[in-house]
Amino acid sequence: MRALVYDGRLRLRDDYPPPKRRPGESLVAVSLAGICATDLEIVKGYMGFHGVLGHEFVGRVIESDRPGLVGTRVVGEINCPCGRCAFCRRGLGNHCPSRTVLGIQGRDGAFADLLALPDGNLHAVPDGVADREAVFVEPLAAAHQALITSEDFAADVTVYAVLPVDQVASLEAAIANLTAGQSALVRLGEPST
């Protein structure tokens, strides 16, 4: 398959082996992927990651053991915890020391025709949300998480999409401007470039 691979050098390959789906994982055909600052850091050596880059994506499930998932348009959580350690057993999988992270640590990412993620990491995208909007779910979730874990932020804010923004910092600013208990429905604009 086609894949943008970093192995000390960044190269586009068309002979990269497709990911092997483990039990409990689905295979996703990537429709659209986003590039973020983390990707730019990885090609400077951050995390020592070698493999397929990319962790912001929208795609369609083409293979899964879970009934009903095949054919679903999805976005995905990027942390894949081991499920067995003390952190995982306490529901703190995002802190699992053995976790893999899509396109960042121990798991090939989204700049490829196909990726594999645990079924439970996948979230169906509603029909009314375009691919160009859905691809921003991961950075939006990361920005939201950074804010709700900061102590002075009340957590019961619901955000469905976000205004024309290019940067996670702008996403954070957009979320921070909401007050507790509010919901916001705002639309993603066309890229400003």
Residues that bind Zn ion (CB under 5 A): 36, 38, 81-82, 85, 88, 96
The residue (of 19 and 139) whose beta carbon lies closer to Zn ion is 139
The residue (of 64 and 79) whose beta carbon lies closer to Zn ion is 79
Q: Which residues contact 165 (CB under 8 A, 6 or more apart)?
A: 171, 174
The nearest distance, CB 38 to Zn ion, in angstroms, is 4
Q: Which residues of 170-187 are buried (b: 16+ CB within 10 A; e: fewer)?
A: ebbebbeebeeeeeeeee
The nearest distance, CB 119 to Zn ion, in angstroms, is 17
The nearest distance, CB 142 to Zn ion, in angstroms, is 6
The residue (of 63 and 119) whose beta carbon lies closer to Zn ion is 119
The residue (of 38 and 64) whose beta carbon lies closer to Zn ion is 38
**H helix runs in 95-178, sequence order:** 131-134, 137-148, 168-176
